[in-house]
């Protein structure tokens, strides 16, 4: 009987020691990611054109230009979003500016300032170099740069919608769907002749990066 008790006690002790050695799986917290999908479609001089992410190397690049002024003047930032390819010369870029902030307080606009700027600028006016509004820049198959003009007498409009903001390990983003109609222009440096290309029913999906 004593032997039975010792055997039972040993079995229980062995079970407890094995159970205590089992390591429980630690499931890491989900890492936030921002959907950076990009796509362009529209008529360029009447020709249906489409650029799709990861087709022919196309991707979206979000950049900015900052103009820092000493206090008490406010500094400004213009945000660009470009769909381009390392192997194909044609690209399309939009610019939106300008966000004003006090660079004496911080080197970058705050996240809330960045978010608010893009949420309220849904129908901006056209502006050269996107200094105070919206600009379209287009590179053709020869690498020539064509840009929209603030003073264009041709019809032009733009709407930014479906704005979704988010942050991940790579930065802070404001996603958008941009629809526009406009002409872009290129001036010959020798003859000074001004040529134009027409964009109709253009839609660019991409993002701005803080």
Give, in order, the Cα–Cα distances in Å from 196 to each of 23, 73, 129, 144, 145: 68, 37, 17, 12, 11
Residue 101: predicted pLDDT? 97
Tell me the C-alpha distance between 156 and 167, whole Å: 32
206, 209, 205, 116: which is closest to 168 by C-alpha? Answer: 209
Q: What is the pLDDT of residue 185?
A: 98
Place of tokens 């062995």: 14
Q: How far apart are the first and last CA of the chain?
A: 78
Q: What is the pLDDT along the chain (210 residues), one digit of tens a residue?
A: 444 444 444 444 444 454 455 555 667 667 778 999 999 999 999 999 999 999 999 999 999 999 999 989 999 999 999 999 999 999 999 999 999 999 999 999 999 999 999 999 999 999 999 999 999 999 999 999 999 999 999 999 999 999 999 999 999 999 999 999 999 999 999 999 999 999 999 999 999 999
pTM of the model: 0.84
Query: What values do phi and psi take at 126, rounded to 5?
Result: -70, 140
């Amino acid at each position: 009987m004593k032997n039975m008790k010792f055997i039972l006690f040993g079995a229980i002790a062995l079970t407890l020691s094995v159970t205590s050695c089992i390591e429980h799986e630690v499931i890491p917290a989900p890492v936030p990611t921002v959907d950076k999908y990009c796509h362009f479609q529209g008529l360029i001089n009447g020709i249906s054109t489409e650029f799709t992410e990861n087709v022919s190397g196309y991707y979206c690049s979000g950049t900015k230009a900052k103009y820092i002024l000493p206090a008490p003047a406010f500094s400004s930032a213009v945000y660009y979003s470009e769909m381009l390819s390392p192997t194909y010369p044609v690209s399309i870029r939009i610019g939106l500016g300008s966000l004003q902030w006090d660079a004496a307080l911080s080197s970058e606009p705050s996240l809330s300032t960045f978010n608010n700027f893009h949420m309220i600028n849904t129908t901006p006016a056209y502006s050269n170099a996107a200094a105070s509004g919206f600009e379209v820049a287009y590179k053709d198959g020869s690498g020539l740069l064509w840009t929209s003009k603030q003073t264009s007498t041709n019809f032009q409009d733009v709407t930014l919608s479906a704005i979704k903001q988010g942050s991940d390990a790579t930065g802070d983003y404001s996603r958008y769907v941009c629809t526009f109609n406009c002409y872009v222009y290129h001036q010959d440096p020798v003859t000074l002749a001004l040529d134009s290309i027409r964009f109709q029913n253009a839609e660019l999906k991409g993002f701005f990066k803080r």
